[in-house]
Structure 1
């Protein structure tokens, strides 16, 4: 499990900030399957490209009817709690060509697994929606939704769907859902929007293939610049 975490909380969010990912070859080391990297250490992304249309991934091409039905059901559950899904998340998860693309690029076997609304263990009225998990549940990513309309991406080593079901059934787990301090430490902010999370995840997993396969010559400028953030002046 990763063990490096940001030492400061984002004031507007209330959680520590860290990016959970694997290595980028010689450009960024990783001691385990995953590492928690200080969010401030990451290469900056151009926020102007995050318009909710995912043009950097080719844009949307048609809808997946099954996913539309699932997202409509989820949206209905959230509406009953005065919450809503961010539109970029809905666009991605219902698009026939975008849905599952994070699974396809993942080098650690991550897969899309969208949960029903899960109550936040630290903020009454806020909810988590799991959307992506590591194949061995080393890390799980969630939308974090607040009644104010604020929505961002967090990750945790805890599967809160399992945790709440175990609590309901009287089963013991290693986590104490009633310990707010423990739970706040277990939830880490990692992106201000779903699209920004998806973009960084997509970039880093593509780069992993390139740097570990020794195939850097064909990298587009955006990915090349991402690597140069870690090794300025090094030719990729």
Structure 2
């Protein structure tokens, strides 16, 4: 992939994509009060992308089988042993969240503590995304809720967060804002890229993209592997599920 042409202050453009077959209506998307979009790169000519990333309407994406997401990550086909340093860091994060009445979702803990899984997204990413877990960050739009950053683009064009509510609800959102930096800038009296006290501006900057961490990880994993296969012009090594995922989109040259 080339370097990103978008900047954090230039929101990405929404692209319409996907076939109508199996497409979900917006009313079927439980986006937890946020606008929804999937931020990703192209899938070859099946789903174009004008820049490094685009915002694709969530309802245009291939549907996933929710019964696969049990928290065991069987679709990765590999598990390892807990990494002591990771377990310690996650325990510390859990304690900090508990003080705020919040909990980490178990699928996130399982993935991040495992020696073979916790860098799987970094390894498969075609845009240089890397795991970077933050301390709890206050939601700028909802008292009592918190953001926990877990993955970021190498140029910070997009950053993904767990969004945690006191009710126990946990889902994945993304933003072009690094909220850790924004809160530190405000604390230090430095110039910020956004007004953290403007709920309308902040709600527009946060987009829902997955109902659970495992579903996010699965879609990210399968799309990045598809990108590599399509750009290598060899799909033979992909499992049937990946072919089914790509089959959601019209073949190149066929109108949607």
**Is TM (by shorter chain) over 0.5?**
yes
Q: What corresponds to 2:91 in structure 1? A: 72
Unaligned runs of 5+ in 2: 1-5, 7-11, 17-25
Distance 1:87 1:112, change over 3 A: same
**How far off its partner does 1:174 sit?**
2.0
CA contact (8 A) 1:5 1:16 kept: no
CA contact (8 A) 1:5 1:17 kept: no
Q: What are the Cα deviations for residues 191-227 of structure 1, in whole angstroms up to 9, with x where unaligned?
A: 0000000000000000000001101123211000111
CA contact (8 A) 1:53 1:59 kept: no
CA contact (8 A) 2:144 2:165 kept: yes
**How far off its partner does 1:102 sit?**
0.3
- Residues 34-183 of structure 1: matches in 2 within 5 Å? 34-183=53-202
Q: Distance in 2 between matches of 1:194 and 1:11?
A: 15
Q: What corresponds to 2:33 in structure 1? A: 14
Q: List structure 1 segments (4+ residues) > 6 angstroms apart after TM superposition.
A: none
How many residues align? The count is 233
CA contact (8 A) 2:182 2:192 kept: yes
Unaligned runs of 5+ in 1: none
- Residues 207-222 of structure 1: matches in 2 within 5 Å? 207-222=226-241
Distance 1:11 1:148, change over 3 A: same
**How far off its partner does 1:11 sit?**
6.1
**How far off its partner does 1:232 sit?**
5.9
Q: Distance in 2 between matches of 1:34 and 1:68?
A: 32
CA contact (8 A) 2:31 2:208 kept: no
- State the SS of the aligned residue for 1:90: helix
**How far off its partner does 1:148 sit?**
0.5
Q: What are the Cα deviations for residues 56-97 of structure 1, in whole angstroms up to 9, with x where unaligned?
A: 012422111110000000000000001000000000000011
> Residue 225 of structure 1 is aligned with which of 211, 234, 244?
244
Distance 1:33 1:233, change over 3 A: closer
